[in-house]
Structure 1
Amino acid sequence: MLHNFVKTTVAALAMGSASTVLAHSWVDSTKYDPVNQVSLGYPRGYPGRSNPDINTEYTYLFSGSPKSQPMCNPKQQANMNYSPLFPMATVQPGETVYTTWEQNGHLNNANPTKIDILYYPDPNKQFADVSERNTAMVAGTMDFATNATCYSPGNPNSVCFGSWTVPKDLKPGNVYHFVWFWYFNQNPAGEWYSTCFDLDVQESSHVVEVKPMAELLAMADPDLNYALGMTDSIKKELAEVTNLGEGAQPDESSYSSEAPAESSEPPAMSSSDAAEQPISSVPAPLPAPTPAKCRPRPH
């Protein structure tokens, strides 16, 4: 079950510090289950948090507000290069999707930076250039890092997430291209980041339970242990599908609840949790480096 996987990965993280971001940010999970704290889908070319070079390989920066630049990281996201360990997510029209990233020290409650989920309603159309951010459709807009989007606001490496709705006009039986586009813009010259991903749209899918964000954020920070890849137990859960029909799930914004205050340290793990499954099957996380501030790269 999903809970067993969570307990296993938590036990693995107890053996060492979680892998963290050196700079910038990107999507770790395109379809996140915040109730069970597991990933049900990943972006293009995702190398996994156990990869020591994930920061240099996966960060994709637009420095100085360029008029033209490839929308997707040419090395990692030029193609739909998924793997059995890090597969594409399956969704259905009208489904509420949670997507995750890491705060990386950019908490801003007073004036939060924004993320757009960009898409085209044509499955044959791929994003090519950053200029398309002005012409593409927007499936959702989220705050990047606030007390209302991050598990542990006081932790610069906290996991953050938000929800958005799969457009109802997408046709089942097709794969659609999306872009997570972060307008960091704390650099006066302009600074943006993107992660490209695809969604397999079907008539039915494994529907994630929607709850108020305050309730979800009250859970312990998963500390990136959910981003270690697909397991047989998760695949089994994904086989349990639901058809929403003409309806749609309520978005978390339909709930009226206050965001939690800055959270304290996650509760200690019990010895019974750590011993439930062997940890040898889970990739060992890397030591946590000191996070750096976002800076434009020199040309």
Structure 2
Amino acid sequence: MLSRPLFLAFLCAAAVQAHPQIDVLYATDPSTSMLRSTGYIRGYEGHIDVLETYHLMDPNVTTALCMDTQQTPTYSSMYPMLTAKPGDNITATYLENGHVTADVLAPDERPHPGNYSWLWGGAPNLELTNVAQMFDVNNLLAGPFNFDDGKCAVAAGNEFGGDRVASPCVSTFYLPDDLETGIYNIVWAWHFPKIPPCTAGAPVEFYTSCADIYVDAS
């Protein structure tokens, strides 16, 4: 039987055609640009696609918005929950995995990176649990944003990457400045239009990453 480290290495090697997930989140004081804290998504064990990437293909309104391992706030000392103050700048990183610089998709033989949004319950300890809540505009925290941040690339020299160097994509938004102390559930939801929506029979395809922010309003 493979040891857990070898098993995880095997999973990483097997997931070459991977899809994105949020990896790291940062909270920064907007008045000083000083880093306040670093945090991760729920259940994070170190970029392991098959354990942390959640694919929603043609979901219905009752489909779970978070994967099984991200339906409760689970963190570790190595990969803690993000902490922040009201009004902080939140930055998150994800890998484009070729969806910006390498995909060759019909009908135009180019990437279709799509858009993503940040969702939340809007109050401490209020969870978003299903796809119906994803489409509720009252749960929109920030976005929608272009999946392509204009700089990221899986590697240098990709067909559609131009002169970009290998670097993760960066997402940034601000927390409202009137938040009360508590834990806020947030969800990164990426709509991947692999097949253009205007195409007959085109599926609806989403990926999500679920996380939490402990906001200290004191």
Structure 1 stretches of 5 or more lacking a match? 1-17, 205-299
Aligned to 1:56: 50
Aligned to 1:45: 43
The 1:123–1:110 alpha-carbon spacing in structure 2 relative to 1, beyond 3 Å, is: same
Aligned to 2:168: 159
CA-CA distance at 1:120 after TM superposition: 1.7
- Contact 1:115–1:144 (8 Å) recurs in 2: yes
Aligned AA for 1:140?
A: A
What is the TM-score when the length of structure 1 is the normalising length? 0.53
Give a deviation string over 1:78-124, Cα, whole Å, max 9, x none. 11110000000111111111111100101179975111010122213
The 1:22–1:152 alpha-carbon spacing in structure 2 relative to 1, beyond 3 Å, is: closer
User: Between Structure 1 and Structure 2, which shows a larger proportion of strand residues?
Assistant: 2
1:193-212 correspondence runs (5 A): 193-203=207-217
Q: Secondary structure at the match of 2:132?
A: helix
CA-CA distance at 1:21 after TM superposition: 5.4
CA-CA distance at 1:153 after TM superposition: 6.9
- Contact 2:96–2:152 (8 Å) recurs in 1: no
- Between the two proteins, the alignment pairs up a number of residues equal to 179
User: Between Structure 1 and Structure 2, which shows a larger proportion of helix residues?
Assistant: 1
Aligned AA for 1:175?
A: I
Q: Secondary structure at the match of 1:41?
A: strand
- Contact 1:30–1:197 (8 Å) recurs in 2: no
The 1:92–1:21 alpha-carbon spacing in structure 2 relative to 1, beyond 3 Å, is: farther
- Contact 1:180–1:194 (8 Å) recurs in 2: yes
Q: Aligned partners of 1:153 and 1:143: how far apart in 2? A: 21
- Contact 2:23–2:40 (8 Å) recurs in 1: yes
1:77 matched to 2:91: no
Identical-pair percentage: 28
Give a deviation string over 1:26-56, Cα, whole Å, max 9, x none. 00012277x999x81101000113xxxx121
Aligned to 1:258: none
Structure 2 stretches of 5 or more lacking a match? 1-11, 102-109, 196-201
1:24 matched to 2:38: no
CA-CA distance at 1:67 after TM superposition: 2.9
Residue among 64, 67, 70 paired with 2:61: 67
1:1-299 correspondence runs (5 A): 22-31=17-26, 40-49=38-47, 54-74=48-68, 76-107=69-100, 112-135=113-136, 136-141=138-143, 142-148=145-151, 154=157, 158-171=167-180, 173-187=181-195, 188-203=202-217
- Contact 2:99–2:112 (8 Å) recurs in 1: no
CA-CA distance at 1:66 after TM superposition: 2.8
Q: Aligned partners of 1:153 and 1:120: how far apart in 2? A: 38
Q: Secondary structure at the match of 1:40?
A: strand
CA-CA distance at 1:185 after TM superposition: 2.1
CA RMSD of aligned residues (A): 3.1
The 1:110–1:186 alpha-carbon spacing in structure 2 relative to 1, beyond 3 Å, is: closer
Give a deviation string over 1:231-285, Cα, whole Å, max 9, x none. xxxxxxxxxxxxxxxxxxxxxxxxxxxxxxxxxxxxxxxxxxxxxxxxxxxxxxx
Aligned to 1:3: none
Q: Aligned partners of 2:79 and 2:211: how far apart in 1? A: 12
